[in-house]
Amino acid sequence: MEGVDHLAHERNRSQFDVNDMKIVWAGSREAFEVSDRMSRLVANDPAFRKDNRVHLTRKELFKNTLRKAAYAWKKIIELKLSEEEAGRLRFFVDEPAYTDLHWGMFVPFLKGQGTEEQLQKWLPLAYKMQIIGCYAQTELGHGSNVQWLETTATFDPKTDEFWWPGGLGKVSTHAVVFARLITNGRDYGVHGFIVQIRSLDDHSVLPGITIGDIGVKFGNGAYNTMDNGVMHFDHIRIPRNQLLMRFSQVTREGKYVQSDVPRQLVYGTMVYVRKTIVIDASNALSRAVCIATRYSAVRRQFGSQDGVETQVINYKTQQSRLFPLLASAYAFRFVGEWLQWLYTDVTQRLAANDFSTLPEAHACTAGLKSITTAATADGIEECRKLCGGHGYLCSSGLPELFAVYVPACTYEGDNVVLLLQVARFLVKTVSQLVSGKKPVGTTAYMGRLQHLMESTCKVQKAEDWLNPSIVLEAFEVRSARMSVECAKRLSQFTNQEEGFHELSPSLVEAAVAHCQLIIVAKFIEKLQGDIPGNGVKDQLQKLCSIYALFTLHKHLGDFLSTSTITPKQASLADDQLRSLYAQVRPNAVALVDAFNYTDHYLGSILGRYDGNVYPNLYDEAWKDPMNDTAVPDGYHEYIKPLLKQQLRNSRL
Amino acid sequence: MEGVDHLAHERNRSQFDVNDMKIVWAGSREAFEVSDRMSRLVANDPAFRKDNRVHLTRKELFKNTLRKAAYAWKKIIELKLSEEEAGRLRFFVDEPAYTDLHWGMFVPFLKGQGTEEQLQKWLPLAYKMQIIGCYAQTELGHGSNVQWLETTATFDPKTDEFWWPGGLGKVSTHAVVFARLITNGRDYGVHGFIVQIRSLDDHSVLPGITIGDIGVKFGNGAYNTMDNGVMHFDHIRIPRNQLLMRFSQVTREGKYVQSDVPRQLVYGTMVYVRKTIVIDASNALSRAVCIATRYSAVRRQFGSQDGVETQVINYKTQQSRLFPLLASAYAFRFVGEWLQWLYTDVTQRLAANDFSTLPEAHACTAGLKSITTAATADGIEECRKLCGGHGYLCSSGLPELFAVYVPACTYEGDNVVLLLQVARFLVKTVSQLVSGKKPVGTTAYMGRLQHLMESTCKVQKAEDWLNPSIVLEAFEVRSARMSVECAKRLSQFTNQEEGFHELSPSLVEAAVAHCQLIIVAKFIEKLQGDIPGNGVKDQLQKLCSIYALFTLHKHLGDFLSTSTITPKQASLADDQLRSLYAQVRPNAVALVDAFNYTDHYLGSILGRYDGNVYPNLYDEAWKDPMNDTAVPDGYHEYIKPLLKQQLRNSRL
């Protein structure tokens, strides 16, 4: 960040204290300090360089990731980093690696499903990385008919390959494997087992097991740094005590015994993983928005005044696409923060055998996972388009960000499937209202159903749309009416499952409405608390309004068809939105500075902190190996004979 | 396509003649036959293999494309292919190459802008590929202030690099260069010049010129096969007669003289290029839809009945995302066909000095370029998601299709900028109505403005939405009312430009409404003609209704806020849409078979004609170079020391 700051004029005009906003974004001063320290540590160490990734072959790329993972682990040990610091360091290394699955899935799953005895045996090995684990649940084809005998696994090699597990293909020594537990001839359903898959001596694949990498994935780099794998078993024997037995055991005699540990604890893990995904969405979206915002302030096109063209960020069309994404990044941040609280709450309740909030917490995390990842994937690509042609260059950082992000829409529950789960919960909530069951948590508003069905929106002038309670009620009314409409139409079917199938597109829309309400509600809730810092809360209020009113505009059909608002009120919301864009405009660059991303982490010439884009874009081009020679390899064989009309005799 | 056809049951249940539909899709029997022949020629020639692209380094990839381009040219000469055949052959080679720019931009531009004398000199060279041309118009930064003197070009190397031209970086010998023409001290604006940039002897870059490749772009392959280039000039001298002088000349004495050839002819070229882009959109979207449809019929998930899981294509959520894209592919096809007619019409009128339809034709092609490319880019990614996790593998064909397609949203006019041009034209059309000017072509409906402002939608039951005139009028009413509303709000500004700037997000939406109307109208028009073949017209009518009703649902806010329809009518449209999905379902696979794509062209294991997906996915994975060894390169340096707790002494 040396040299002239080409964006200084933008930073000088902002109307809030960016350092205070950094604390808000990070969640706390402590979290900010850890992130700041770790991001600089990574950025300043040439071993973590990543700008050369696009020039590596897949094998080189993969080997380079192995090196970085080992180097990061060495640093973590040398510097005696805490678990939190180590997590942040890996985050800023910014490269999918087998360690993500080892730490993010294998270890948590062991902790959740192992008995005390099992934990004592396996956890120390995993913590020291004396074993490396992955998580084998998905299968190649359509079936889930894995057959599993107590100590013998028989797979049909044609259909029952495990397929996709990250870290499986080349690195992991152990896997948590999911399979049907069959003992004494009875099928007890899917259970998790620890299976050693590679030798700890020479890394060879153990007999009876076949493992490979599943091939090249989307993007120049992205997940190609990861060895997503395929595996099949042929009569593998594992010891009985490698069934993870916290919830159920198989005795020496082959008897299946359920423990008294409640199985609902498994849902706690799902809440944990999906909460993490929502926070990741705010990371990825904020990163794209940071790049697009800075470059929109640098780039000038058309509309010349005084001989200088207009900054692209001054165009309303640019603002109306960019600022809602900026607002969404903050909105997802705060809903992620709230999910963090929810997870703690759920965990405490589960420990006290209180399962009452679990279905609601599960539905809400599933839904939020779905809509934040979908919006983030689309948002990254929109940011890329907002950068014009240069967004198509890998040096913009955006193509790779997109390629590495999009699988989030599919993994840990396909986004549409998750929304259908939410819809099922909503319809159930509505149908139970008559029996007097009180809806809890994020569905509590359904308890005021009669009011919501009758209420009319009070907006009379544009500024009324800045009133949080008016906005909140509009989102509640829309969502409640959509759920009720779905429930009403469902009740006309004699077969409920058939009705659910037939109406599923509308059910998905009702679920989206409910989840958007949650995001709006949690943003408003955040703003009701104390937020220190000069001008900070004011900016966040504007972003909250932008998120809500943009969402309203985008889903206007819902709001109008449910008669939640009138066309006139919709038009006033648009007026207010334009006014908000103008108010955010001078703060836009500072609002993305608040993410505190290093140039290393951003990995984008367009998004450079100093805004010195063009000379660097130019210099970067010349470093490309294609420019090693002016006359390209292939000229003599394929260009010259063509120009000289001598193709006839060429071997091509 | 040997072996068992796993999709035979799907093909057998279809209700129309797929061979007749193939003719409709291709446009004519002749067009079908040429395409069919060329696609098989390419598919059956191992020289055009493309499944290995993802494993090549950029340099290898580029060299491989040089080889294919030379080989294709050799074939074209050997087989004495016609211009049409050669074009189709290059299309099915399916790899961006310098030849696209030579044939698609350099040659047409010469033809459009050169004098008879210039054509006699340059065209034979270009036709025989004795020179290779590119098209240098875009610049690196924000400025368009290229300074150009009659025979001396002085560029400021800091700001005035040409940047992006395809084929420039490594291959082209000549370029059409755009620069300001300055003679006798006066600036006559931007003109095109032919500039030789490389030696025809040894391909070295000529003195005073610097050329390079601009680096890696989005995707594993995609446009990385192309040498998009950067170029700057330092006091280059070119002969006076290399100014393209059809429209204006510079005499021996330096005098600037305009010819009597109308400059509007230039717009004819833009109509031509954008028409081609619309047809390309239908190619790209149909390809993605073909893959997603076939794989949705192969893949089974959940909902087990009789021990077999449900085909994914039977889920309403899948249908509600996939079938509108299928309908869009056909809709874009027919609007492209109509643009072909429009281009011919415009050309004939221009030849007769009739410029009356030009502004409308220009606005309509600009708008159609914008909305078809935007919908196609989004649609390809949606198809990828519809394939679940496997869509993320490059062997699905979808990641590369997306990466190679998305620049269409930016090149030849950024999509949002183009919509603003359309909006300007619409507002002008509305404002001229009072003065009695009769709107022409696709804006003719504005002539019935009073009727459209007063009319009410006649839908009373779901089937009414199958009535083409009711659908058409709904789209006309929505579009007209949105344009009028924009014009009304604009008139409240004292400064029109300021108003246009302020209201631009709404103007963009009005433009979208107008362009969607054109697509609906042209689909309906197509169906009014004679379409032979058993059941063919019936299927197309369903697709037309799906396109219209899905668009209505997606933009419901427009239709309701303009009071074009009522919420009740919207709900009836949704009912009709669901019924249409059920009717299209048994025909889905046959409807994508009608595109007549070879497995080579599709380049997708998921989209294989025979539906034999899983064994091939599995086999393909094992072919990956990562699987050459079970223990990966890097094990000894980076995995073993970690597992053995010996990182401390490792060099990483």
The tens digit of pLDDT for each residue in A293-349 reads: 999 999 988 776 666 788 999 999 999 999 999 999 999 999 999 999 999 999 999
pLDDT band at A285 (very low <50, low <70, confident <90, very high): very high
* Residue A514 token pair: 């409910």
CA nearest A389 in B: which residue? Answer: B410
Q: Would you call B67 and A574 a contact, using CB atoms and an 8 Å cutoff?
A: no
Which chain B residues are closer than 8 Å to A211 by Cβ? 630
User: Is residue A1's pLDDT more than 90?
Assistant: no
* Residue B648 token pair: 């401390």
Q: Would you call A388 and B414 a contact, using CB atoms and an 8 Å cutoff?
A: yes
Nearest chain A Cα distance for residue B345, angstroms: 32
User: Is residue A167's pLDDT more than 50?
Assistant: yes
Q: Within chain A, which residue ranges are assigned CATH 2.40.110.10?
A: 103-261
Least confident of A72-86, A177-191, B36-50, B606-620: A177-191
Q: Which of A139, A412, A473, A476 is catalytic?
A: A412
User: Is residue B363's pLDDT more than 70?
Assistant: yes
CA nearest B416 in A: which residue? Answer: A317
Q: Is A138 among the annotated ligand-binding positions?
A: yes
Residue window 467-506, chain A: list those with CB within 8 Å of chain B: 501-506
- B200 interfacial to chain A (CB closer than 8 Å): yes
B102 vs B146: which has the higher pLDDT? B102
List pLDDT tens digits, range B438-472: 999 999 999 999 999 999 999 999 999 999 999 99
Nearest chain B Cα distance for residue A199, angstroms: 11
- Once rounded to an integer, what is the mean pLDDT over residues B513-541? 97
pLDDT band at B300 (very low <50, low <70, confident <90, very high): confident
Q: Would you call B556 and A553 a contact, using CB atoms and an 8 Å cutoff?
A: no
User: Is residue B647's pLDDT more than 50?
Assistant: yes
List pLDDT tens digits, range A491-516: 999 999 999 999 999 999 999 999 99
pLDDT computed for residue A141 by the predictor: 60
- B451 interfacial to chain A (CB closer than 8 Å): no
Which chain A residues are closer than 8 Å to B562 by Cβ? 567
Question: In the A/B pair of chains, how many CB contacts fall below 8 A?
Answer: 376
pLDDT computed for residue B223 by the predictor: 95
Residue window 393-412, chain B: list those with CB within 8 Å of chain A: 393-395, 399, 403, 406-407, 409-411
- B626 interfacial to chain A (CB closer than 8 Å): yes
pLDDT computed for residue A154 by the predictor: 44
Choose among B264, B228, B553, B382: nearest CA to A557: B553
What Rg do the C-alpha atoms of chain B give, in angstroms? Answer: 27
Which chain B residues are closer than 8 Å to A58 by Cβ? 54-55, 624-626
pLDDT band at B145 (very low <50, low <70, confident <90, very high): very low
Count of CB atoms situated within 10 Å of the CB of A7: 20
pLDDT computed for residue B159 by the predictor: 44
Nearest chain B Cα distance for residue A128, angstroms: 8
- ipTM of model over 0.90: yes
CA nearest B214 in A: which residue? Answer: A621
pLDDT computed for residue A147 by the predictor: 36
Choose among A108, A166, A157: nearest CA to A137: A166
Domain A103-261 has CATH 2.40.110.10: yes
The question of whether A84 is a catalytic residue gets the answer no
Q: Which of A57, A300, A627, A636 to mutate to test the interface with B (most CBs of B within 10 A)?
A: A627
- What is the C-alpha separation between A488 and A431, in angstroms, rounded? 9
Q: Would you call A643 and B71 a contact, using CB atoms and an 8 Å cutoff?
A: no
Q: How far is CA B71 from CA A399, A633, B46, B321, in A?
A: 31, 16, 11, 40
Count of CB atoms situated within 10 Å of the CB of B181: 20
The number of angstroms, rounded, from the C-alpha of B247 to the middle of its chain's C-alpha atoms is: 30
User: Is residue B118's pLDDT more than 80?
Assistant: yes
pLDDT computed for residue A444 by the predictor: 96
Q: Would you call B227 and A626 a contact, using CB atoms and an 8 Å cutoff?
A: yes
Nearest chain A Cα distance for residue B627, angstroms: 6
User: Is residue B396's pLDDT more than 90?
Assistant: yes
Q: Would you call B217 and A301 a contact, using CB atoms and an 8 Å cutoff?
A: no
Q: Would you call B634 and A67 a contact, using CB atoms and an 8 Å cutoff?
A: yes
- B509 interfacial to chain A (CB closer than 8 Å): no
- B305 interfacial to chain A (CB closer than 8 Å): no
For A626, the closest of B213, B571, B648 (CB atoms) is B213
Which chain A residues are closer than 8 Å to B389 by Cβ? 138, 164, 407, 410-411
Helix B265-298 × helix B316-351 angle, to 10°: 160
- What is the C-alpha separation between B13 and B4, in angstroms, rounded? 17
Half-sphere exposure of B82 (CA within 13 A, CB side): 7
To which H or E segment does residue A351 belong? helix A316-351
- What is the C-alpha separation between B249 and B246, in angstroms, rounded? 7
Nearest chain A Cα distance for residue B219, angstroms: 5
pLDDT band at B398 (very low <50, low <70, confident <90, very high): very high
Q: Which of B415, B558, B639 to mutate to test the interface with A (most CBs of A within 10 A)?
A: B639
For B130, the closest of A502, A615, A645 (CB atoms) is A645
* Residue A201 token pair: 């001596």
pLDDT band at B306 (very low <50, low <70, confident <90, very high): low
* Residue A30 token pair: 């402590």
User: Is residue B317's pLDDT more than 80?
Assistant: yes
CA nearest B141 in A: which residue? Answer: A614
- B206 interfacial to chain A (CB closer than 8 Å): no
To which H or E segment does residue B230 belong? strand B229-237
The number of angstroms, rounded, from the C-alpha of A511 to the middle of its chain's C-alpha atoms is: 19
- Once rounded to an integer, what is the mean pLDDT over residues B31-51? 97
- Architecture of the structural domain at A266-593: Up-down Bundle (1.20)
B39 vs B269: which has the higher pLDDT? B39
- b/e per residue B486-509 (b: at least 16 CB within 10 A): bbebbeeeeeeeebbbbbbbbbbb
Residue type, B459: V
User: Is residue B153's pLDDT more than 80?
Assistant: no
A427 vs A161: which has the higher pLDDT? A427
Phi, psi of B256 (to 5 degrees): -90, 120
Q: Would you call A399 and B218 a contact, using CB atoms and an 8 Å cutoff?
A: yes
Dihedral in degrees, nearest 10, Cα atoms B421, A548, A299, A624: -110
Contact call for residues B230 and B140 (beta carbons, < 8 A): yes
Contact call for residues A192 and A134 (beta carbons, < 8 A): no
pLDDT band at A43 (very low <50, low <70, confident <90, very high): very high
- b/e per residue B97-122 (b: at least 16 CB within 10 A): bbbbbbbbbbbebbebbbbeebeeeb
**DSSP-assigned letter for residue A139:** B
Q: How far is CA B271 from CA A295, B26, B105, B578, in A?
A: 31, 21, 13, 37
Q: What is the mean pLDDT of chain B?
A: 92
- A424 interfacial to chain B (CB closer than 8 Å): no
- What is the C-alpha separation between B296 and B322, in angstroms, rounded? 9
For A621, the closest of B57, B212, B627 (CB atoms) is B212
Q: Within chain B, which residue ranges are assigned CATH 1.20.140.10?
A: 266-593
User: Is residue A158's pLDDT more than 90?
Assistant: no
Least confident of A146-155, A417-426, B197-206, B494-503: A146-155
Q: Is A166 among the annotated ligand-binding positions?
A: yes
Residue window 542-571, chain B: list those with CB within 8 Å of chain A: 553, 555-563, 567, 570-571
- B185 interfacial to chain A (CB closer than 8 Å): no
- Once rounded to an integer, what is the mean pLDDT over residues B325-343? 97
Q: What is the mean pLDDT of chain A?
A: 92
Catalytic residues of B: 412
- Once rounded to an integer, what is the mean pLDDT over residues B571-597? 98
Q: Which of A66, A604, A619 to mutate to test the interface with B (most CBs of B within 10 A)?
A: A66
- Once rounded to an integer, what is the mean pLDDT over residues B552-567? 98
User: Is residue B572's pLDDT more than 60?
Assistant: yes
Pairing outcome for strands A229-237 and A162-163:
antiparallel
pLDDT band at A2 (very low <50, low <70, confident <90, very high): low
Q: Which of B378, B392, B493 to mutate to test the interface with A (most CBs of A within 10 A)?
A: B392
User: Is residue B172's pLDDT more than 60?
Assistant: yes
| Non-local CB neighbours of A368 within 8 Å, separated by 6+ positions | A274, A278, A335, A339, A515, A518, A519
B268 vs A283: which has the higher pLDDT? A283
pLDDT band at B288 (very low <50, low <70, confident <90, very high): very high
Q: Would you call B624 and A420 a contact, using CB atoms and an 8 Å cutoff?
A: no
pLDDT computed for residue A142 by the predictor: 40
Residue keyed to tokens 């990250």: A166
User: Is residue B282's pLDDT more than 60?
Assistant: yes
Choose among B226, B277, B266, B286: nearest CA to B99: B226
Nearest chain A Cα distance for residue B632, angstroms: 6
Q: Is A230 helix (H, G, I), strand (E, B) or coil?
A: strand
